[in-house]
Each structure stands twice: as structure tokens, then as C-alpha cells.
Structure 1
Amino acid sequence: MDFRISKVRHPKEKLYGTVMLVIGTLVWAAAIIALVAFAMMHSLAIIAMIVLYIAILWFISFVGRALVRAYMIGHYVMVGEQQFPHLHKMVAEGAAALGMKEAPQAFVYNSSGVMNAMALTLVGRTRYIWLTSQLIDADNDDQIRFVIGHELGHHAAGHLGTAVNLLHLPAYIVPFLAAAYSRGRELTCDRVGFIVCRNLQASRTALQMLACGSAKLNAQMNPTAFEAQEHKVPSIAGFVLHIFSLYPRLTRRVEAVGQFAGKLPPKA
């Protein structure tokens, strides 16, 4: 499959991302115009002070990311050809399948029982993937490929880009919009995870594993039964929880990745 993120991106991410981009662009444009008008009527020293505050905030962010990177390198286990080569190969192959010029650097860390994974950007080599020890213990190889693919999806889809996130920033004032956009992004990355994994059962059970969290029960999971729980979610309470959440319900994600897989041609 010739990977193009535009064809994989979930419709909800496209919709809410466009709305946030429009709102953000308009707000930033209005702010710049107001700043210029203010500068023409008042002392430039005030404008210089505002610019200084912005620079200070950027510097604080830079230092914070540098400290996180230093901690990561000193406390987490870097995945490579000499360290967990099977995981390194999964990341490299997944990145290649998505047309990425360079695979993000992966790290494994002691999660103290928490099952999760994360994509992030820091200073220096900007693209990273974190995999928790609990996730590695609980998942089989195809499930791990799905999780890696999901995190690679955040990088491939540009979710962590500084420019686009800065443009979106003013739109966070709109209630529930940013959360809806976040949920759309997760659905996009689930699709990317399936493309990397190309095993529907493993993709669905990898999502279900986040709810189950048991290595012992891993092979016994029934994603169809789990998906059926979606229809038992109380409508009003479920809706309230949904609009505040940054992630879709896991039952819905299992259902959605199955629907997406049904639209793709069989793996050659």
C-alpha cells in the first residue's frame, strides 16, 4: 500500500482540525493587527516587553524539553541494533512503511504497572517513541507493531508539529473543540497502527489490552464481545464523559479500526 496520510486521516480529525485552524488563524491575525495598532499609538517599549515575555516562555519550554531529554537518556533504555533489536526492527519497518525518512528513536521505560505508549518531540533529535515495560510484557509482536504504528502515526500525521499546534492554540478557548480534535487524531493513529500491523485481530486486541492490562488473559481476548459493550454504554452519562475526554472510548476504537480495515484491500 502506498501510504498517504491524507487518505488515512479520520474525517473527524479533518473537520475539527480545520475548524481549529480557521479559528486560530483568525485570532492570531486579529492579535497581530491589534498589536501593530497598539504599537502605533503607544510606546514601542511595551511591544518590546511583550516580545521579551514571549521569548522567556519559549526559553522555559526549551529548557523543560532539554531536561526531559536528559532524564530520558539517563533513565530509560534506548532501543537500537544492540539493545532490543526486535523492537528496533519493528520501529524501523513501521517508519519505512509510512514513508518516513528517519525512524523516531524508541525508548522502553519502567512503567510500574502502567500500560501506555507515547509519541513526543524534544530538543536535539526531535522525534521519539516511549514504550512502557508493562505494554511489552502484555502484548504479542503484532500487538506491539500496532502500538508502535499508532505512535508513528502521530509523527507521520504532523500532530506534534510546533507550527500547527501554535496556530491551533487560540481555538482551545472553544469548549469541547480541542477534545473532539484530540479524539479524531487518536482514530487516525489507530488506522495507521493497523496499516503497520496489518493484522486486524491483533489491532483490536491491542486496543482492548489497554482496558484489560493482563498478560495472562492476552491470548483469550475476544474483541467482538468487547466491541459489543459499546451498545451498553448509558447514553447520557456516556455522552457527557465522551465530550470531555481526549480519547474515544476503547470500545468505539475497536469498532472503528475494524470498520477501517474492511475498506482496505487484502494484504498482498
Structure 2
Amino acid sequence: MSDRAAELSTHFALRAFGKVGSDRPRVFDARRLTTYRHPREAPALTLALAVVAITVVGAWMLSWAAGLAIVSLFVLTALLTRLSAAQQLARAAEITSTQFAHLFPLVADLRERFAMPETRVFVTQSPLINAVAAGFQEPYVIVLNSALVEALDEEELKSVIGHEMGHIKFGHTRLGLLLGGLDARGVVLPFPLNVVASVRDLIFLWWQRSTEMTADRAGIIACGRPSKAIAAQVKVSVGPTLFQHVNLADLASQAAVLHRGVARWEGFASQLSASHPFLVNRIEAMLDFVSTLETQEPEQAPERVQHVAARLVARAPNSRREYPIDSHALLVGRSPSADVRLQDRAASRRHFEVRSDGAGYVISDLGSSNGTFVNGVQVESARLQDRDVIRAGVTELEFQCNNS
């Protein structure tokens, strides 16, 4: 390992920031993603929602005009967010299997691992190293600036995309419309609503900072290498060129200063108006998360795939992911409850199922809008043979059976 790689290793980072660590590989289970919410997020959200309720009710009690103005802010924010998402279709390029094909497997893998609702990922030209997630309902939108894609390596980019998908998965984009919709800047509110709105702004920013730390955890799970997630954050903060001159030990020293004496309160006060945590605080929070999970034992679930009698295998470009067919029926479609979740707008929510009838395996179309095809032939129900190719929408899966 090179000196630079060693300095950026997770073990080195843990030691530099004074966290408990070991060299043993860590396991981050994407299936447990929603259990990794940062502990500060819930109290911040509760307070923010309470202030929103107080402001709306108070406005209506003062006058119907004030109440209408507050509600209008919510509606306007929601409309502007939807318009912003729609603009990406006109000015940005979507990552698909035939466009930015080198990035598509990465995006498809995270969509599946995180069991994402329909989420479209775009690339737009911008010199700013940044990414953003938006949306109140499907399809959600993630926009990656071109400078970000060019600055990060594959694992770092995976952590950033995982971070943005985390915002969607944890409901931050929806809640942001509700909490951010009460933005009173530029609107003159009568006393005492103006005081309540100012308090609301501070609480909303607290909640925003908490959501960033939650999404950072999703980024770590996405790439599986905390050191890469940290490297991505440092590159976003200082730039990809100057990143080479960043010393993690010095960043740890900066963090330590913020925990001592008057500097602790100065650091706290200076962050109150920020929507994102300071870099050193962010790295420390990421390492706190890593240190709590490092003693987990690896799960042996993947071994189960090797012993099942039949499976569906996703064909390229989805990295040939395997889905074992157990004794129950295997449901395939776009529904979040499907056993095989398709990120394919041409597929139905409940497209088809495969089940064993004792003598073999039978595929049944579930009333899909575009039909189910086996080896190019549309079927309502058919008995499957080893190596049959199934198509739902534009997605192809290969049926493999040890007993056929």
C-alpha cells in the first residue's frame, strides 16, 4: 500500500480522529439502510414540524390573509421543485444503458441494493463539484454536475450517488418541501410570527445538517469503503487537485480544537446558519458511525444462492445479479414489494411471477401492460426450461435450473 493510500485508509482515519478501530473488514448491510438514520434527525424533525404547525395555525388566527400567504409559500415551493425536476429532461443527459454506459451499472446496482423508488439520474454541465436530489413522488431526480463526475474515482462517485439516494430513501426530499416551504425570507410576517419564523429557520437548518449526516451513512454503505466516502467529501470541499495536499491528521487536529474551551461554543454558534455540517465535523460523524459497526460479523446469506435449485439471473448491463427461487413464488416488477425490483419504466409494478409446481417451474404474466416474453415469444403462462430468456419491458433475465 502506498503512503498516500495508507493515510486515507479507514483504519488510519479512525486512529487519527481517536476512534476505536481495527483492521478487520467491515460489513454494511444495504438491506438495513433505513435503520442507520442519524440520531439527531428525529428530534430536529419533531421540533421543525411543531414550529411549522404553530406558524400555520397562528397565521390563520391572526388573519385569513396571513394564513393564505403561509399556505401559498408551501404550494409555490412544491411547484418550483417539480418544475426544477422537469427542467433536467431538457438541459441534462440521463444515465442509461446506452448513454454514460460506463456509469449505468453503478447506478443500477445502487437502485437495486437500496430498493429505490423510481429514480432517474442525470449529468449536467457545471464547474461546481456538487450533486443534488429532488422530488416529492416518483420519478425522483438526482443531478450530478459534470465536474463531480470528472473529479471522483468510481468508488468515490458511488458514495456520492449513494448519499443522494439516501436523501430520497429517508424521505428528506419530501420533508424538505414541507419544512422548506415555510421560508419567510422576502415575506413580511407580523409579530409574533416573524419571531417564530426565525426560530423555525434555525431548527430547519439543524434538521438539514442532520439529514446530511444520515445521507453520509448511506454513502458509506453504497461504496463499502469509508475511506472513499471521506475522500469524496474532502474533494468536494477543497477540490480534486488540492486534495492531494490534505493531511487527515491535521484535519483531526482541527476537529479536536473545536471540542475545547471557548472554541467549542464558537464552532457551535458559527454552524447554526449552515445547511451542511463543517467538513471536520462531518468526517468525525462518519467515523463515529463506522466505529459502531466494525464489530459486526459478516452475514452468510450469499451462500444460499449456491444451493437453490433455480434462479433468475439479470443479464448485462446489470452485472448478472442472481435471484434465488425458493419454495414461494418469485414476484418480478416495479413494486417496492417485488422480490426482483425492476428500475424499468416499461415494466409493470407486478409484471410476472415464477413458482414451482412440483414438477418444474412455471412463469405467469400478472396482467402486465407490455406483456411477458420467453425467448422472444409473448406468454400468459409457460413452463420454463434451463437458460430460457425472460423479458419484461426492456429488462432481460435468464432462468437457470439445476434440475431441468
Q: Which TM class, normalised by the smaller chain length?
A: 0.7 to 0.9
The match for 1:58 is 75
CA deviation string 1:59-107 (max 9, x = no partner): 6853x445534532222121111111232222222222222243x1111
Residues 2 and 220 of structure 1: is their aligned pair in 2 closer, same or farther, counting only changes over 3 Å?
Answer: same
The answer to whether the Cα contact below 8 Å between 1:8 and 1:191 also exists between their aligned partners in 2 is yes
Q: CA RMSD in A?
A: 3.3
List aligned pairs for 1:1-268, cutoff 5 A. Answer: 1=29, 3-4=31-32, 6-29=34-57, 34=61, 58=75, 62=79, 64-65=80-81, 67-102=83-118, 104-112=119-127, 114-121=128-135, 125-161=138-174, 165-166=177-178, 172-174=197-199, 176-214=202-240, 216=241, 222-233=247-258, 234-264=263-293, 265=296
Partner AA of 1:106 in structure 2:
V
Distance 1:210 1:115 in 2: 6
Q: What do the CA deviations read for 1:97-144 (whole angstroms, capped 9, x no partner)?
A: 222243x111111112x1111011278x54111111111111111110
TM-score, normalized by length of structure 1?
0.78
Using the alignment, how far apart are the partners of 1:235 and 1:167 within structure 2?
28
Return the letter of the residue paired with 2:75. Answer: W
Q: TM-score scaled by structure 2? A: 0.54
Counterpart amino acid of residue 173 in structure 1: S
Task: Give the fraction of aligned pairs with identical amino acids, expressed as a percent.
Answer: 25
Amino acid at match of 1:189: A
User: Which residue identity is paired with 1:23?
Assistant: V
Which structure would you say has the larger Rg? Answer: 2
Aligned to 2:19: none
* Structure 2 stretches lacking a partner, 5+ long: 1-28, 183-195, 300-404
d(CA) in 2 for partners of 1:57 and 1:101?
Answer: 24
Q: Is the 8 A contact 2:56 2:67 kept in 1?
A: no
Change (3 A) 1:167 1:253: closer
* Structure 1: segments with no counterpart, 5+ residues: 39-45
SS at match of 1:244: coil
Amino acid at match of 1:231: A
Number of matched residues? Answer: 251
- Looking at secondary structure, tell me which structure has more strand per residue: 2
Counterpart Cα distance in 1 of 2:152 and 2:122: 16
Distance in structure 2 (CA, Å) of the matches to 1:31 and 1:50? 4
How many angstroms apart in 2 are the aligned matches of 1:24 and 1:173?
Answer: 11
